[in-house]
Amino acid sequence: MVIQDESYVAFCGLYCEDCWVKKERVSDLAVEMLRKVKSDEFKQLANGLPKMTPILKGLAHYDQFVGALEAACFLGCKKNCREGGGFPNCEIRKCCQQKAIKGCWECKEYRDCAKLAWIEAAHPGAAMKNIESIRRSGIGGYIKGEKYF
């Protein structure tokens, strides 16, 4: 069953329930994997195995691997954006709340907004298409229609 709910429309125009980070439990998996790879046994393997065979040479970058997993631990949302989920310091959310608007689609400067740059980098074209859709059809129409992610 697909959830069609206004509360899942993020301030930036993305739809929380379409987010693969949320659906795939990325942060939970990263926490679990981090526990395993930080074990003394794995550290020892990561130190020795790259010397044994070229196919495992990536393990020589153990610290970078652990750093990436530590970052991935923050990719989970237990709540949707409007309930405080997503990134705690999201500039888009702060801006919309300060302007007392429902989302970027209610802002005159959305097309040139630097705060949307990270969304564009992570989801090329998606936020702008969604914002335009909401401006044309309203949130209800957007929810019923095609959403980009």
Express each pLDDT in 102-117 by its tens digit.
Answer: 999 999 999 999 999 9
Burial environment of residue 127 by CB neighbours within 10 A (0 to 12, 13 to 18, 19 or more): buried
123 CB-near residues (< 8 Å, 6+ apart) = 14, 148, 149
Q: Residue 80 corresponds to which tokens in the numbers above?
A: 């949707």
pLDDT value, residue 74 = 84
DSSP 88-129: TT-HHHHHHHHHT-SSGGG-TTGGG-GGGHHHHHHSTTHHHH
Q: Residue 26 corresponds to which tokens in the numbers above?
A: 């990325």
Residue 23 has pLDDT above 90, yes or no: no
Residue 26 has pLDDT above 90, yes or no: no
pLDDT value, residue 1 = 43
What is the arithmetic mean of pLDDT over 91-102?
97
Residue 20 has pLDDT above 90, yes or no: no
Residue 34 has pLDDT above 90, yes or no: yes
Residue 3 has pLDDT above 60, yes or no: no
CB atoms within 10 A of CB 63: 9
pLDDT value, residue 4 = 66
Identify the CA nearest to 99 among candidates 109, 88, 89. 109
d(CA 94, CA 129): 21
Buried/exposed code over 3-14 (b: 16+ C-beta within 10 A; e: otherwise): eeeeebbbbbbb
Domain ranges of the chain: 6-19+80-144, 27-72
d(CA 25, CA 3): 18
